[in-house]
Structure 1
Amino acid sequence: NSPSSFVGFPLRIPVLFFWVAQVHPNSFLSSHFFPLVYVYGSYFSMLTLWRWLRLPLAAGSSHSISSGTVHKFFYVTGPSTEFANVLEQLESTFYMQALQKFNLSDFTAAGFTSPQIPLQQFQAIATDESTHATTLQLAINALGGETISGCTFDVSSLLTDVSTMVAAARLVENVGVSAYLGALTLINDTVLSTAAATIMTVEARHQTILNLLSGATAIPQAFDVALNPSEILALAGGLISGCSLGIPANVPLQLNSSGPVLAGMELNFTSTALNGTSSSTNLSCQFLAGGLAAAIVQPLCECSVPQNITGPLYVFVTNSSQPLANNIRDAATGTIVAGPTLIFIDNQQDALAMAARPGLNSTVTTNSTATTTASFAAPTTVTLTPATPSPSAVSATPSPSTVSATLTPSTTLTSSTALTPSTTLTPSTTLTQSTVPAQSIVTTTISPSQASAILASMSA
């Protein structure tokens, strides 16, 4: 089944063409030698590529099949292109149904300043995913393959409201980037890896947009985390049914949380793999974030959100305390009992996110530790837990005493203006870098649209 087993004879054909052209210089073959060789070479190249794509990974082989992916996922026990097509259809179905269900008023109710902001982005992302799915299916058919049939995608639990949908979309795009990075580690063919990279950059753009639409940090980490297909299916496999993908999925792991998740808060999980052993001292919880060389390991019975991490955080349950390497080639995946699940630690909020969606988290403090968590595994669930909503407020603490200032229509702050109990501001009031608050704690109640400008002035 190796390509080398059928390369020898076909490569002799151009040599035969050349010999005939030399012996019979006036023949059709002689006058059309180069076009014929070009056509034959193109056909043989496509045939060779298709044979590579359908080769199974040899167990224990030191060689990674370079055709492991055409898009975001690589081949394990079935044709990679067919599997990728199923996943693209899942994404396309999700965005299509979301756009069909929600209208402008739904986005306004979800806290967006202008409903056109998220709507435009979701339409663009939906177009991208549909194009990926269509193109992949055409490629499979052109190469003589058959797409996996019978798959159904149940995304209804992700579309209960706009907030849930946005959280699910954010998870989808972050998981997609991680899956794609994992696939790239097994691609040796430069043509395929280049093609895959052109799609990965688009997925990363989707990821950034969804971070902002979730009211979080656009680029929370300098690196992303690579995952393998079994880990991807632990996160998204619950959405696919009715067909065999040929890839063994990790056991899903679900975070139990009924409210905001804070740094240092103890975490509890549900999984069929735990079977009531969540307090076992033999199990560990492991956290993987972008930029970490290895996972942060804690006993499962003492598992809590790590400090000083912002953005996506993958959580595994393992039967070993040996840290998982943040490298899918070297990670001891055999120790994974369940997971990963994905949580988002949103302890920083970009001004752009606040401007686009001030209604998501109208209480902003300099030491906020609330996180957003989202996961869907079989059975599929998505949980969104931003900080508890309250009237828009900004707190600054320059000194121990407290002064309350109500912002109303008549005051402009300058470098010589101190905030006092009677200080008032209008929506047009501007805080400049030279503004000096009085030696007191100042609590200003404002409209959500003013939060970004005031926070920038206070941090200057």
Structure 2
Amino acid sequence: MLFAAAGIVKAAPLERRADAYTDLDILNYALTLEHLEDTFYRQGLEKFSAEDFKSCDLDETVYDRFKAISQHETTHVAFLTSAIKAAGGSPVPQCEYKFGYTDVQGFVALAQLLERTGVSAYDGANQYIMNPAYRTAAATIVTVEARHSAFLNSITNRSPFPYAFDTPLSLNEVITLAGGLISSCPYDVGIKPYNTLTVTTTSEKKDKLKLSYPNSNDNQYAYFLWGSNTTSTQIGSNGEIEVPKEITAGDVYIIVTSDNSPPSDSNIVAGPAYYSVPANW
């Protein structure tokens, strides 16, 4: 399957467009993210055993599924590497990472974030892919990433498909999320991250949040992205906000903007940050 897929894109010429992203840029962007996921799963499965999973009420089947996900990510890295070389490019190497988990629960929680972000990354980058063969290849990866995300949600008693649509993120937004897990890189990713946004809960129901980020002031807004929906709320002087009532349980991204208009490169102050709205809030 790997070599057949590589053959799809082998002879495809690269095209430069006015927005400065070539198809090769997008392939290396995808490889940057796949390296991160591949390393994450390999390190986690070296650290934790099936018995460790069982001690957290996750049976051996779950552990086996994690091994399968790890194999998928390794295959994605190999495929993208081959495709980039076949197109005459230089595949980016892996970076050094700081995942920060200390137990199985933390490993599973971070896996959920990585897979969810992976889906948003491919969805957001699709618009820049000009060659139909590359676009098809990316689509065959993102559907698998979405299955990973659904599985990881289901084992923690969350909806495997909370919304009718997924949430695309821009390249800058994804690199902002991924950047917090990268300690150093032997190359310049070439994509500017936004300021880091930290979200903490301030109420038992988890419907009130505190946002921490650089360059805060009293005239900024928190934009919530979930599914294909967006809504905003003005940020209080102490950085506190309430989760809008129209958001039901599920994954959301929060972005701080300098005005009450949809997030764009011209008005994003910080973020995105990931937040999971609990089912009983």
Taking structure 1 as the reference length, what is the TM-score of the superposition? Answer: 0.54
- Structure 1 distance, partners of 2:131, 2:85, is 21
Q: Percent identity?
A: 34
Structure 1 residue 150: deviation in Å?
A: 6.8
RCO comparison, higher one (Cα < 8 Å, 6+): 2
Q: Does 1:283 align with 2:225?
A: no
Aligned to 1:343: 275
Which 5+ residue runs of structure 1 have no aligned equivalent?
1-44, 69-74, 325-330, 348-367, 370-460
Matches within 5 A, 1:53-452: 55=16, 57-59=17-19, 68=23, 79-112=25-58, 114=59, 116-149=60-93, 151-155=95-99, 157-158=100-101, 160-240=102-182, 241-242=184-185, 243-257=187-201, 262-263=206-207, 265=208, 267-271=209-213, 273-274=214-215, 277=216, 280-292=217-229, 295-301=230-236, 303-307=241-245, 308-322=247-261, 324=262, 332-347=264-279, 368-369=280-281
Contact 1:179 1:226 in 2 (8 A): yes
- Structure 2 distance, partners of 1:119, 1:258, is 34
What whole-Å deviation, never above 9, does each CA across 1:222-270 have from its counterpart, x for those lacking one?
111110110001111122222311111111211124786523x2x1122
- Structure 1 distance, partners of 2:205, 2:62, is 26
- Structure 1 distance, partners of 2:117, 2:45, is 21
Contact 2:226 2:253 in 1 (8 A): yes
Moved more, 205-214 or 101-110: 101-110
Count of residue pairs the alignment pairs up? 267
Larger Rg: 1
Aligned residue for 1:314, secondary structure, equals strand
Taking structure 2 as the reference length, what is the TM-score of the superposition? Answer: 0.87
- Structure 2 distance, partners of 1:106, 1:258, is 32
Cα–Cα, structure 1 residues 319 and 310, in superposed 2: closer, same or farther, change >3 Å?
same
Structure 1 residue 337: deviation in Å?
A: 0.2
Aligned residue for 1:303, secondary structure, equals strand
Aligned-residue RMSD, C-alpha: 2.2
Contact 1:217 1:346 in 2 (8 A): no
- Structure 2 distance, partners of 1:150, 1:342, is 24
Matches within 5 A, 1:39-58: 49-52=12-15, 55=16, 57-58=17-18
What whole-Å deviation, never above 9, does each CA across 1:70-119 have from its counterpart, x for those lacking one?
xxxxx6xxx3333322221111000001111111232122232x2x1320
